[in-house]
Structure 1
Amino acid sequence: MSFAPRFLAILLAVLCSAWPARAAQDAAPERGTAITDPTTLRDLDGGRFRLDRMLLPTRAADTPLTNDALFALPSMTPVRQAIDVEFDRYVVRHTATLPKETIGVGAGFDFQLFDRTLLHSPETRFVLAGIVNRMDRTFVAEASCGEIRLIYRLTRINRAAGEDAVPPRLPMTLNLVVKARGEDAVITCGEIARRWLVMSGDGALSDKDSPLDLIRREDIDRIETNLQIAHAPKSAIRDFRTDYLLKVFRYNAQAGVFAEAPMENQIDRARLQADDGLKREFRAWLLDPVNLAAFDRGTALIPEKFLASGAIAPTPVGFDASGLEPVFGLVRGEGAVFGEPDIVAALRRAAEAGVKLQNIRSPAGFERRLNDVTCAGCHQTRGIGGFHFPGVDWMAEKPSNTAVVPASPHFFGDQVRRRDILASLRDVRPPDYSRGFSSRPQLRGSSELAGSNYNDGWGAHCYARGKPAAGNDASFRDWTCAEGLSCQAAGKTSRIGMCFVKSR
């Protein structure tokens, strides 16, 4: 087994074995920042947080809208149409490099497409899988105090006789993003943060001062979708490959529709490489010391003219589903936007201007940050099968291992930082919105994650330092392993690896 499949298998084993003990503790990393408890989510899905009730506030029917009716709503029709266009584009692209008979729906194909009829079927609906506080994104829009995300999972609700063995959950999430504070609200960001922070470790809510009372349909901002568009099982000629289609649809209240929109920081590589003028403009913008400092902190907002409205995120990372080209050719390879001399010169200019960078201290650090500020790059990092929040399957009688872990190591590792920001907002202190790389959490001086697979424990991402020390990359040399573990690098050339027990 190659490193990538072995990594995923080990990671899933770590998560699944750790979940029962972790969930029982009040010190759950997501306390005060997310609702992951399956019983609570089941009750909320039966109430006003069911997706059709969020989209249609006057809907009082007990029976949820199935997806055929959901995507027939005028507000959702553009979503279905845009996803269909992406599907067709994906098939055309891959049939250009692969025999047409090798791509299709079903196990008989080398590249197995998602059966898109299930997306708008009377047999499926979106089920509430989690609620996540993202007030750590207040820097994006201070007036709205960041966001609250209602995450729904595509699920079969009616199965034909004899299909009991078919998993009810399907590989797609729909993220309904709501402003944490509406335009007409008089409540402060600090009070919203306080209400979240008093929640118990299992996400239990009291009737008094519930933070969920503040979530309103009127404050919906957008829909984000993540769909496993195709899967290529391991074969004699290639390793396994899975592709995920990412899209964003911003709500136009005047028109009453969700319209396709540019994805935050999702750099349109193809367009930049095809337009030398746009490429130069983007390079100058990002390497400006002020923007480089925000980019280093993870708070840069790249102008929309450089962005794409959709992305394919492949897993494992490295090549697209055809196996023919690098996923991110922005730093290396033909047509690269940034050359190593550009980056070195920019780092020097930033230092001369007195800018102190926290994460980017080398061209490799710049490239990694360029990857993980994008939607696609972040989703490729420490996810569970391409998702950072699949949620616990509260509908299954006997959940499989992949359904009992609510979120990825990247998600859990980031909760300390998010709680720190909530506490700052509550206490009316200036928040520190910076974040580390997606592979390695920013601890903020906390020892809470020490020795865990989220930080430096078994299975954590690390950097295999060499000798002499001068040859170690300054962006990653602090990615060490806990005592008794050593960093085992992936492949012969990379020094990025995972923490495992030291070999004798």
Structure 2
Amino acid sequence: MAPRIAQSAALERGVAIIDPLALRELDGGRFGLGRMIEPARSADVPLTNGDLFALPSMAPVHKAIDDEFDRYIARHKVANETIGVGTSFDFQLFDRAVLYSKESRFVLAGIVNRMDRAYVLPESCGEVRLIYRLTRIKPMQAGEATSPRLPMTLNIVLKAKGDHTVDGSGVALTCSELARRWLAADESPPSGVELAARLNSNDGPLDSITPENIDRIETNLQIAHAPKSAARDFRTDYLLKVFHYNAQSRRFEEAPLENQIDRDKIFADAGLKREFRAWLLDPKNLADLDRGTILIPEKFLATGAIAATPVGFAPSNLQAEFGLIQADGYGNEVVGEGEVVAALRKAAAGGVALENIRSVAGFERRLNDMTCSGCHQTRGIGGFHFPGVDWMAEKPSNSTVVPASPHFFGDQIRRRDILTALRDGALPDYSRGFSNRPQLRGSTELAGTEYDDGWGAHCYQQKPKRADNDASFRSWTCAEGLACQPVGNASRMGMCFVKSR
């Protein structure tokens, strides 16, 4: 059975902008980072990072990143691992001088509609994200295939509908109208200047996107990597941070990462630990966790995270690090396996129908899945879900770089389904599957692809006796002619490959 290439079906249509020539045009106009951060700034002079991090609004960002570097270096020194800039160290650190240099800047690498997150703030109709990629500034040389991109992204997250979002007649735009504009973009000209003009027109999806809608900045930086050696496998660490915009101080201030549980803080406070356990296992919150719409209170969350790659396929590839769930019963866990089982039974007895969490392993994976670091470790490209297109290449083309991860593309049908519901005035279903295996939403578009059942899809090795199979993952099968081949000796999680003869 030949694998299907679902990406050729333009899964992102109507929900993301990844055309390199259109993005180049938009970056040179009002969607350049400089114009978004400082609207009065001229678009003719791109904002270098030396100027960006000198802005008063970015001072907290500069300090927070420096503090994270210092903590990261200190942890490795305690472990007697050499760390620094250059190849002579065990862990080779990202050069901060490049990040803050006038020889680098962030360029627009993609625009993503996230109105599927309208459950967070319904009045804002969800979010729109401008994704910028760190790049060295230098003229392109003849024959160069790619530009000197660096391993960091900066996302400006905007409310899809701001307090004063209106159309050309001054009438307030609705979520329905905003969704219609995005879906109509699927019918726009195919590429380049013409597409950018259509997106930016009075009736286009980008017309309502203004700096006044900015909610926060999200950063993802490859802080260090360790080459494979006799002491360890290859490893790359990514630093994740969030900075909310304070309209009063006009500064981006360090904030907790959504659903990123602060293990150290919880373990240090017995009362907070009990409170978190009770909150997490409450049937209502358990149902939200199952649906993928849980919002863990900020008092339980961390303000930074390190996501390491690569990671394994075990049902709990990150919770082992958190130590939230253990079976020893000696108080080293926040939530014991028995408590999870009891909570699942209580939810079922109360009429709560769970779609994804049907076992302790399903609970662990879902809790993993909802953290920033856990999501970035799932089907990412390195530590990124959206590296973005490279329009600074000599011959920009979507075919020269994969703009986003399998997780991103696999989720587009769900996002488009929610946009359609918002456009039509229907009640959206905001639930989502695991990051490894997206919801099909009744569509056959992903069937037989790397996202679902096809070659390269994530799967769960089924055993002949149904009782031996974990109820949370029984649907993670492979298409005819393919078999689930586990990765690692202790796991039944793997990928769909051609059956061996």
TM-score > 0.5 by shorter chain: yes
2:58 aligned with 1:72: no
Displacement of 1:318 in angstroms is 6.0
CA contact (8 A) 2:391 2:397 kept: no
Could you tell me which residue of structure 2 aligns to residue 6 of structure 1? none
Please tell me the root mean square deviation across aligned C-alpha atoms, in Å: 2.5
Structure 1 SS opposite 2:325 = coil
Q: Which moved more, 1:265-274 or 1:411-420?
A: 265-274
Displacement of 1:110 in angstroms is 1.8
Given candidates 166, 173, 194, the residue that maps to 1:187 is 173
Given candidates 248, 255, 263, the residue that maps to 1:269 is 263
Could you tell me which residue of structure 2 aligns to residue 7 of structure 1? none
CA distance in 2, matches of 1:218, 1:325: 38
Could you tell me which residue of structure 1 aligns to residue 45 of structure 2? 63
Given candidates 315, 337, 347, the residue that maps to 1:350 is 347
* 1:307-322 alignment, distance < 5 Å: 307-317=301-311
Given candidates 119, 132, 143, the residue that maps to 2:112 is 132
CA distance in 1, matches of 2:480, 2:140: 53
CA distance in 2, matches of 1:487, 1:324: 22
Could you tell me which residue of structure 1 aligns to residue 168 of structure 2? none
Could you tell me which residue of structure 2 aligns to residue 54 of structure 1? 36
Displacement of 1:280 in angstroms is 1.1
* 1:245-264 alignment, distance < 5 Å: 245-264=239-258
Structure 2 CA distance for partners of 1:161 and 1:40, relative to 1, 3 Å? closer
Q: Which moved more, 1:85-94 or 1:271-280?
A: 271-280
Given candidates 393, 405, 411, the residue that maps to 2:408 is 411
Displacement of 1:328 in angstroms is 2.6
Structure 2 CA distance for partners of 1:30 and 1:61, relative to 1, 3 Å? closer
CA distance in 2, matches of 1:161, 1:133: 34
Specify the code of the residue in structure 2 equivalent to 1:91: I
Specify the code of the residue in structure 1 equivalent to 2:472: S
Could you tell me which residue of structure 2 aligns to residue 11 of structure 1? none
2:85 aligned with 1:85: no
Could you tell me which residue of structure 2 aligns to residue 10 of structure 1? none
Could you tell me which residue of structure 2 aligns to residue 336 of structure 1? 333
Displacement of 1:325 in angstroms is 11
Could you tell me which residue of structure 2 aligns to residue 456 of structure 1? 453
Could you tell me which residue of structure 2 aligns to residue 8 of structure 1? none
Structure 2 SS opposite 1:106 = coil
Could you tell me which residue of structure 2 aligns to residue 362 of structure 1? 359
CA distance in 2, matches of 1:403, 1:392: 8
Structure 2 CA distance for partners of 1:401 and 1:335, relative to 1, 3 Å? farther
CA distance in 1, matches of 2:71, 2:400: 31
Could you tell me which residue of structure 1 aligns to residue 370 of structure 2? 373
Could you tell me which residue of structure 1 aligns to residue 169 of structure 2? none
Displacement of 1:90 in angstroms is 0.3
Structure 2 SS opposite 1:212 = coil
2:273 aligned with 1:279: yes
Could you tell me which residue of structure 1 aligns to residue 294 of structure 2? 300
Displacement of 1:397 in angstroms is 2.0
Displacement of 1:276 in angstroms is 1.7
CA distance in 2, matches of 1:431, 1:394: 35
Specify the code of the residue in structure 2 equivalent to 1:443: L
CA distance in 1, matches of 2:353, 2:386: 33
Instruction: Give deviations 1:304-346, integer Å, cap 9, x for gaps.
Output: 1000010001112269xxx999423211377221111000000
Q: Which moved more, 1:334-343 or 1:365-374?
A: 334-343
CA contact (8 A) 1:318 1:327 kept: no
Structure 2 CA distance for partners of 1:403 and 1:425, relative to 1, 3 Å? same
Could you tell me which residue of structure 1 aligns to residue 500 of structure 2? 503
Q: What stretches of structure 2 of length at least 5 have no aligned partner?
A: 166-171
Alignment coverage as a number of residue pairs: 479
CA distance in 1, matches of 2:249, 2:323: 38
Structure 2 CA distance for partners of 1:470 and 1:155, relative to 1, 3 Å? same
2:212 aligned with 1:230: no
* 1:139-158 alignment, distance < 5 Å: 139-158=119-138
Could you tell me which residue of structure 2 aligns to residue 3 of structure 1? none
CA contact (8 A) 1:328 1:371 kept: no
CA contact (8 A) 1:318 1:326 kept: no
CA distance in 1, matches of 2:27, 2:267: 45
2:199 aligned with 1:219: no
Structure 1 SS opposite 2:321 = coil
Percent identical among aligned pairs is: 70
2:470 aligned with 1:473: yes
Q: What stretches of structure 1 of length at least 5 have no aligned partner?
A: 1-13
CA distance in 2, matches of 1:442, 1:221: 28
CA distance in 2, matches of 1:166, 1:180: 32
CA contact (8 A) 2:221 2:240 kept: yes
CA distance in 1, matches of 2:397, 2:224: 21
Displacement of 1:165 in angstroms is 9.5
CA distance in 1, matches of 2:54, 2:473: 49
Structure 2 SS opposite 1:214 = coil
CA distance in 2, matches of 1:493, 1:238: 19
Structure 2 SS opposite 1:213 = coil
Displacement of 1:64 in angstroms is 0.5
CA distance in 2, matches of 1:325, 1:303: 19
CA distance in 2, matches of 1:37, 1:419: 18
Instruction: Give deviations 1:129-166, integer Å, cap 9, x for gaps.
Output: 0000000000000010000000000000137999x799
Structure 2 SS opposite 1:199 = helix
CA distance in 2, matches of 1:335, 1:165: 52
Structure 2 SS opposite 1:211 = coil
CA distance in 1, matches of 2:433, 2:181: 27
Structure 2 CA distance for partners of 1:401 and 1:336, relative to 1, 3 Å? farther
CA distance in 1, matches of 2:275, 2:139: 53
CA distance in 2, matches of 1:224, 1:338: 30
Could you tell me which residue of structure 1 aligns to residue 393 of structure 2? 396
Displacement of 1:237 in angstroms is 2.2
Structure 2 CA distance for partners of 1:402 and 1:346, relative to 1, 3 Å? farther
* 1:113-128 alignment, distance < 5 Å: 113-128=93-108
CA distance in 2, matches of 1:160, 1:393: 12
Specify the code of the residue in structure 1 equivalent to 2:23: L
Specify the code of the residue in structure 2 equivalent to 1:427: D
Displacement of 1:208 in angstroms is 4.9
Displacement of 1:199 in angstroms is 1.2
CA distance in 1, matches of 2:154, 2:268: 32
Q: Which moved more, 1:374-383 or 1:55-64?
A: 55-64
TM-score (norm 2): 0.91
CA distance in 2, matches of 1:103, 1:467: 49
Structure 2 CA distance for partners of 1:210 and 1:350, relative to 1, 3 Å? same
Displacement of 1:65 in angstroms is 1.4
CA distance in 2, matches of 1:324, 1:255: 37
